[in-house]
A and B are shown apart, each in its own frame.
Chain A
Amino acid sequence: MVARLLRLRLALLLSAFRGPLSRVARHALIGVLAVLAAVVLAALPQFISGPDGAHAPLDTILAAVVLAAAGIVPLFLNRGHLEPRQFGQYPVRSGQVATGLLVSTALSGPVLWLAAWVIALVVLRTEWHEAWWAVAVGGALALLLAICGARVASGLAKLVVSARSSGAVHAVGLLLLVAALPVVVFAVTQALGSPDGRITADAATVLGWTPVGAPLAGIAAAAAGDPETALLHFGVTFAAIAVLIAVWYPIVRLSLERVERPADPGKARQGLDWFERFSARPDSVIGARALTYWARDPRYRVGLAAIPLAPVFIVLALWVAGVDPYLLALVPLPVVLLLFGWSLHNDVAMDSTAIWLHVASGTRGAADRLGRLTPIMLFGLPVLLVGSSVTVTIMGDWRVLPAVIGLNLAVLLVSSGVSSVFSALMPYPTTRPGDSPFAQPAVSGSGSGLAQSLSMVTTVVLALPAVWVAAVAFGDVSFGTNVWALVVGAGYGIVVLALGVLIGGRIFDRAAPELLAATQTFD
């Protein structure tokens, strides 16, 4: 089985060089470029730190990033892989399939690229050549870790995530990449900019004891004449590989024994756009309905279009007033998220009398509230991640990233929670469905100003504790205060949101007929 799988892998690999000449040439070019990239990556730390500088920390950090990517990327991007289920119909034991897949992965493109990178490292680091045994062990461990990590990640993803939702998972992965990219690039450039800096050294020390950083840290230690430390480093990676292999075999067995739930129950949702992607529960369908309305109803779009403009004016005003640009960079994102969550505070009135369906069907208020939050969370959280990352890049200090995320999370969740209460508590007349989004509400007055200002003030007041904790973290930039700010921001925001949903849901449950009567007077 193992030999057969290896042959299969080889055939797959060589198939890239069959067919029309142009295709072969393209693949050959890609291969050459990839190998060149591997060599450049291997040479990068040496190039930055100079011919005789201390490049060991940079080596460790880069290796850790590369090996971690080998384990993380397949979680989201695994469509091209050979996978256990493809062998489900053959009379083979799951153990054989598992071994075969593991061994044959060595012949896959990414692993060959990693091998090229390791070889380039070995060739380029002349000071390692005395500790040749450590180089051999470290390089082998790095490759093994990459193989096992990628296999386990992709196997787990295939097992847990159904084929139907793999597109969504792919999108999430892409989003995380986009969100992380500014910070990673910033952190790496900072580390590369000061190879001797304390931060870089600290990071390398920490990473050196993680499985992903340990192989190169071990080689460096052995080269520096400390074989005991080297063996300890290798031991960390070895243990990780053992765990991964131990997990891999059950994953393969489960993959071969389980069948994905057939798509039949999903049929009801076929061709229903957003409804297709949400489960058939009241809160989910209300969320899908809200998303459909955001896409189809111009009233929502016009309301949202104004949101990015607000922070521009605020920042301009503060800049003219002479506020420190370092703090100014913090302002736009919370303002955007605050307005985004607050835009929900009159959502029931936006539905107008159509809300009768929720009342007549006895929909729980909490489900109604939760469903309406769906678009806010679906768009708000990515904006938050990407925006936070951009914010710290502009501020020029990536260490405050946790505090920035905590602050923004708290603002988004608090404003959503307050809106959940107010949309059930104080609906006020708004533009009717089908009217021009720029038209005035048919009925005016009757508390629109009060509801708007009251909900805004409540949001700001409730957000203050999290803002205070984050401000402390900005003043005293240490790891502890920053993580504390993140924990407080997220925890506090979730508590306020949950309370908002519960209270708003309770109000909706009790006063749904009155809410309907109110929308009837607006219509």
Chain B
Amino acid sequence: METLGIFSDVDTAARGVDSLVKAGFSEEHITSLSSVPYPDGVLVRTDQRTWFRWLAVAGGSVGAVAGFLLAAGTAWLYPVQTGDKPIIAFYPTGIIIYELTMLFAIVSVIVGMFLEMRLPPWGKPPYDPAIAEGYIGISVFVLSGDQRNRAEEIMKRAGALRTTAEEML
């Protein structure tokens, strides 16, 4: 369950985060919502490690195999004997392998990115369209109604204009 507080600027939003942390909320469970990125630590600290690049590597490897099967496989299935040249030509096969490796890697980056971002979301996490206009959202993951009320009160005291909460499906 997430609860979201909307702040008018970075300073009050940062104050809101500090108040939440001081009140015992774990920083891991707090995140910021903004229409522009802020350097790490300005609002919250986020884990900078990502795994989706390994998916890109895996995608590229699958692409290399697909490229080989496409170029070499069609040559095997329909052999064209030209003089004493090999059925599977090294140069064209290399080109097709290269292109498909890159293509699959690129597609994997996008797929992996969305998977790691967990987008599109399953439920309907709280959001406020004012974020697009420069407002800052501070979202806290809470486990109970009591916790939610406490988080909302802390954020309002810190300067939140409004708070919204919605249960994740």
Chain B associates with chain A: no
Interface residues of A (CB under 8 A from B): none
Interface residues of B (CB under 8 A from A): none
